[in-house]
Amino acid sequence: MPQCDVILHAAFVVTQDEDRRVMENASLAVADGLVAAVGPRGEVAPRWRAAQEIDLGNALIFPGLVNAHTHSAMTFLRGLADDMPLMEWLNTRIFPVERQLTPEIVRLGSLMGHAEMLRTGVTACVDMYIFEDAVFEAARMAGLRCLGGEAVFAFPTAACAGPEAALESTRALAEKYRDNGRLAVAVNPHSVYTTTPEILKSCRDLALEYNLPLHIHLSESRDETEVCLKNHGKRPVVLCRDLGLLDVPCTLAHVVDVTPEDMDILADHGVVVAHNPSSNMKLASGVAPAADMLERGMRVALGTDGPASNNRLNLFTEMGRAALMHKLAGRNPALLPADSVLDMATRGGAWAMHNPKLGSLAPGQAADCAALDLSAPNLQPMYNAVSHMVYAATGMETRLVMVDGEIVYRDGRYSRFDYEALCCEMLDIRRFALRAAGIS
């Protein structure tokens, strides 16, 4: 009889495998950080000898969700600047505080962000920020997966004197985390409006040199498009294509203000779009044509953006809002059904991470999963597990989270760090942010 590290039992398992199977009274066997078997309890349990067996009872196991675009450290800015247009929000509130950041503030802010994501069933994220090595340190402490890299700007940041230093930092991260199982590096130019064509070419070259993916905000708003047309005579998508950025594996955040021709270009280049419905609504950036993208066969994932422009790092919130906003915007209740939205948060997230081992529960896939408590009143009664995940669950019903076969959160407790101590440290960071913003 083969051995495994742990077997999980639950009332339901949503596999997100190629057949999108949903199993009742099912089990998941985990060995060496991978899914060894998934199937009916009566078939899996007798065939495996487990070092640990966990019966979750009336619970729903699902693949760990992937936050395809975030700035997790920005928890320290949550609620500091709301109800403002994007450019005003950036230039009057966010950038002034960020100029005074330290690696320790970024580490602690990121750890709180990672705590929030784990608490709501997210096991991996695509991150962009400054002092990104501190973000990676927080991810290591929390135990979740992270694809990140130093944000590249045309101007100095608290972390780097200029774009050359940011690229050198990314190069150092690529060397440091070359063989890390949970932490991976991307080249992160912030956007076309905060860089130059020369900087973007340098980002492309570094990505090609180290075989790294590239992650950038693109076509986030009409304002961005107007600036790009004024400065370069091209729309953002066309500019990036002409600079060769789309020739490397890309995760593009937002992609709101695009034409059908833009989408054809993106589809031809096989990029991944990280759709951020809450942030786009809050900043009134517009509605990304996600349904049109999916019709073109494009790869679409879900992101929260940062907690300063969303206030939550909760993929359950994003799933519900994504489904509803597109039905309203398209005046069509059939747009973006629940199964398509769940695909975006799981299998789409695997594409955004450029990691095919994620996003589904099947033999050989990464043992990244979470479990919802189905005894919650908002999940009663059960007719359709996928519908409940998208339309009814809040994420706070999460009982257990596993990454790489390791349980990193269970029933209110984090296995790798002291959450209560972290909350105390966030009070000091709050005082810093108020001073830096000139509020106190």
CB atoms within 10 A of CB 165: 15
CB atoms within 10 A of CB 95: 14
Candidates 248, 141, 230, 231; CA nearest to 188 is 248
H/E run at residue 269:
helix 260-269
The span from the CA of 220 to the CA of 236, in Å, is: 9
Instruction: List the domain boundaries for the chain.
Output: 3-63+358-414, 65-353
Q: What is the pLDDT of residue 292?
A: 97
Q: What is the pLDDT of residue 363?
A: 98
Q: What is the pLDDT of residue 436?
A: 86
pTM beyond cutoff 0.85: yes
The span from the CA of 166 to the CA of 153, in Å, is: 8
Query: Would you state the structure tokens that stand for residue 432, as one six-digit string?
Result: 């810093």
Tell me what percent of the chain is helix, strand and coil, each rounded to the nearest 5: 40, 25, 35
Q: What is the pLDDT of residue 1?
A: 86
Name residues whose C-beta falls within 8 Å of residue 193's C-beta, 6 or more positions apart in sequence: 224, 227, 228, 231
Phi and psi dihedrals of 374, rounded to 5?
A: -80, 0
Cα 71 to chain centroid, rounded: 9
For residue range 40-99, list pLDDT tens digits in order. 999 999 999 999 999 999 999 999 999 999 999 999 999 988 888 777 877 888 888 889
Percent of the chain with pLDDT over 90: 92
For residue range 310-368, list pLDDT tens digits in order. 999 999 999 999 999 999 999 999 999 999 999 999 999 999 999 999 999 999 999 99
Q: What is the pLDDT of residue 339?
A: 98
Q: What is the pLDDT of residue 186?
A: 98
Q: Dmax over Cα atoms in the chain, in whole Å?
A: 68
Amino acid (1-letter code) at residue 425: E
Q: Which of 178-192, 268-282, 317-331, 425-439 has the lowest mean pLDDT?
A: 425-439
For residue range 96-139, list pLDDT tens digits in order. 888 999 999 999 999 999 999 999 999 999 999 999 999 999 99
Pinpoint the alpha helices (H) of 90-186.
Answer: 95-98, 103-119, 132-142, 163-176
- What architecture does CATH give domain 3-63+358-414? Roll (2.30)
The span from the CA of 429 to the CA of 424, in Å, is: 9
279, 305 Cβ separation under 8 angstroms: yes
Give the burial string for 372-385 (b: 16+ CB within 10 Å, else e): bbbebeebeeeeeb
Q: What is the pLDDT of residue 89?
A: 77
3, burial (CB in 10 Å: exposed 0-12, middle 13-18, buried 19+)? exposed
Specify the CATH number of the domain 65-353: 3.20.20.140
The span from the CA of 345 to the CA of 211, in Å, is: 25
Q: What is the pLDDT of residue 440?
A: 67
Helix/strand/coil for 203: helix
18, burial (CB in 10 Å: exposed 0-12, middle 13-18, buried 19+)? exposed
For residue range 225-268, list pLDDT tens digits in order. 999 999 999 999 999 999 999 999 999 999 999 999 999 999 99
Candidates 314, 286, 283; CA nearest to 90 is 283
Angle at alpha carbon of residue 426, lines to 111 and 352, rounded to 5°? 30
Radius of gyration of the chain (CA): 21
Amino acid (1-letter code) at residue 257: D
The span from the CA of 271 to the CA of 296, in Å, is: 12
Phi/psi-derived region of residue 370, left when phi > 0, alpha when psi is between -120 and 50, beta in every other case: beta
Candidates 112, 127, 18, 93; CA nearest to 63 is 18
